[in-house]
Amino acid sequence: MKRTPIHSRSARRQRAGGPPAPEAPGTAPAPAAPAPRKPRFVRTRAFVGRHEKLLLVLSSVLLSTLLFLAYSLGTPEQRRFTQRDIDAAVMHTLEKSTLPSPEARAIARIRPSVVRVTQQGEARDAAHKGVLGVGTGVVVVDKGIILTNLHVVGNDDRIRIKVQFANGQESDATVLRRQPENDLAVLQAAVVPDDLVPATLRSVSGLAVGDHVAAVGFPYNIGPSASSGIVSGLNRTYRGPRNDEVLRNLIQFDAAANPGNSGGPLVTMDGEVVGIVTAILSPHEQGTFIGIGFAVPIEIAAAAAGESPF
């Protein structure tokens, strides 16, 4: 029995390169194939290109935030010190460290300004080696202006005066001015060190009996030597051994002073000069110290130098 061929209703496949097969009558057209989607990285790249500036700003903000958080988390919290902590630290330092005394600090400050003053002449014996007298002076101007006592340098201009500075350097000196009524003399050194330090002067207006003071000088040509004590009195009058010498308005002190201290500075615990040591009261023929010394107030001494700072 001969079979009847069965034909499919679907359109025949289009031959390669040929025209599309005609649709069968009464059939709906086949839907168009969807356009292929772009790869994801292409879409991301396009998005970044459209919003590049915004993304840069957001990235900067995010990076700054992350850095701040990292710094905050990595930095330990600072401790706030209380007064109790400060007091404990000070007490610990005082217990473990030895601090210099007020006297030591005062002397260290004045020491660069203290000079040894000598009268030079023919030697009376081998021990003196040409030194006729020894005293002390204090530099008040860095150009080499020195205050001392008149009895240290004398009234004879033929006597040679030499000064020795704190660094050991020596120089001849000339007497610029004499003030006998206050036993003062002003010297000018011929050669001065480059780093010469003048003393700091302080008015005696705020000085009171009982204030601590120190004297620096060359007692008996030994030194520089230092001694400390207190102000024993103010506005004192001193009469010399022969009663032909009267000094007034003096500072009385009990820091040890002996021959050779004359002309040296009397300083406060701040190392500031309040007077020039000028005399001691001693009933002994040797003239040794018994606890009463006198100094010319620095106002008077500075005026003798011609440049009072007060």
pLDDT above 70 covers a percentage of the chain that reads 75
CB within 8 Å of 209: residues ≥ 6 apart: 230, 231, 232, 233, 234
Q: Is the pLDDT score of 3 beyond 70?
A: no
Q: Is the pLDDT score of 6 beyond 70?
A: no
Rounded Cα distance, 86 and 236, in Å: 46
Average pLDDT of every residue of the chain: 83
Residue 34 lies in a domain: no
Q: Residue 175 to residues 3, 61, 154, 156, 217: CA-CA distances in angstroms?
A: 158, 79, 10, 10, 20
Residue type, 137: G
Query: Which of 80, 61, 107, 50 minimizes the C-alpha distance to 269?
Result: 107
Residue 206 sits in a domain whose CATH number is 2.40.10.120
Residue 250 lies in a domain: yes
The pLDDT of residue 262 is 95
CB within 8 Å of 47: residues ≥ 6 apart: none
Residue 150 lies in a domain: yes
pLDDT digits (tens, 9 = 90+) for 61-105: 888 888 877 777 766 666 677 888 888 887 877 777 777 899 999
Q: Is the pLDDT score of 236 beyond 80?
A: yes
Rounded Cα distance, 277 and 261, in Å: 7
Poorest-pLDDT segment among 122-136, 171-185, 280-294? 122-136
Number of structural domains found in the chain: 1
| 174 and 153 Cβ atoms separated by less than 8 Å | no
Rounded Cα distance, 241 and 281, in Å: 9
The pLDDT of residue 109 is 96
| 275 and 247 Cβ atoms separated by less than 8 Å | no
Poorest-pLDDT segment among 147-151, 234-238, 242-246? 242-246
The pLDDT of residue 182 is 93
The pLDDT of residue 86 is 83
Residue 153 lies in a domain: yes
Residue 182 lies in a domain: yes
What is the residue range of 133's domain?
106-304
Residue 11 lies in a domain: no
Of 34 and 268, the one with more pLDDT: 268
Q: Is the pLDDT score of 128 beyond 80?
A: no
Q: Which of the residues are catalytic?
A: 151, 183, 262
Q: Is the pLDDT score of 265 beyond 70?
A: yes
How confident is residue 23, by pLDDT bands cut at 50, 70 and 90? low
The pLDDT of residue 89 is 81
Tokens of 72: 């905050």
Containing H/E element for 57? helix 52-74
pLDDT digits (tens, 9 = 90+) for 167-206: 999 999 999 999 999 999 999 999 999 999 999 999 999 9
Of 97 and 272, the one with more pLDDT: 272
Residue 214 lies in a domain: yes
Token pair 């919290």: residue: 77
Of 82 and 283, the one with more pLDDT: 82
Three-state SS at 157: coil
Provide the β-strand partners of residue 239: 246
| 113 and 144 Cβ atoms separated by less than 8 Å | no
- How would you class 148 by CB atoms within 10 Å of its CB: exposed for 0-12, middle for 13-18, buried for 19 or more? buried
Residue 16 lies in a domain: no
